[in-house]
Amino acid sequence: MKRSTRILITRLGMDAHWRGSIVVARALRDAGMEVVYIGNQMPENIVETALQEDVDIIGLSTLSGNHMELAPEVVKLLKEKGMGDTPVILGGTVPPADISKLKEAGLREIFGPGTPLEEIIESISRL
């Protein structure tokens, strides 16, 4: 029997904006995914938890402008730990000019404010 998609949801660094990550985590859970929610974390802790929890996907949330430094660091550390195939997605306030740079750094999907939950769920299901 195939297990449901297991996704780690976390906020990058000390980002205090919690509502978006909670709404998305609940929507993913309601869509049948297994959600591991760990609140605010730095890249090292995110990757360690991803290893321990054997997740399929990592979802990062940011609204504080730290995405250009911390999100690529998560991807880099995953590669170092042999988890380079684990998709990393990002949600939050990301300037359009940063999107292509983040994708070049290895992030698979980026969702801005107001992205329909159905779109997020479908994108994760494809990953």
pLDDT at position 19 is 82
Average confidence (pLDDT) over 12-20: 79
Q: Which fold has domain 6-126?
A: Rossmann fold (3.40.50)
pLDDT in tens, 100-119: 999 999 999 999 989 999 99
CA distance linking residue 82 with residue 52, whole number of Å: 13
CA distance linking residue 61 with residue 75, whole number of Å: 14
Single out the residue of 37, 17, 19 nearest to residue 46, CA to CA: 37
CA distance linking residue 78 with residue 88, whole number of Å: 10
CA distance linking residue 81 with residue 63, whole number of Å: 27
Per-residue pLDDT band at 20 (split at 50, 70, 90): confident
pTM (2 d.p.)? 0.94
Structure tokens at 108: 């698979």
Structural contact between residues 20 and 61, judged by C-beta atoms closer than 8 angstroms: yes
pLDDT at position 65 is 79
pLDDT at position 1 is 58
pLDDT in tens, 44-95: 999 999 999 999 999 999 987 789 999 999 999 999 999 999 999 999 999 9
pLDDT in tens, 23-44: 999 999 999 999 999 999 999 9
Residue 38: φ, ψ to 5°: -125, 10
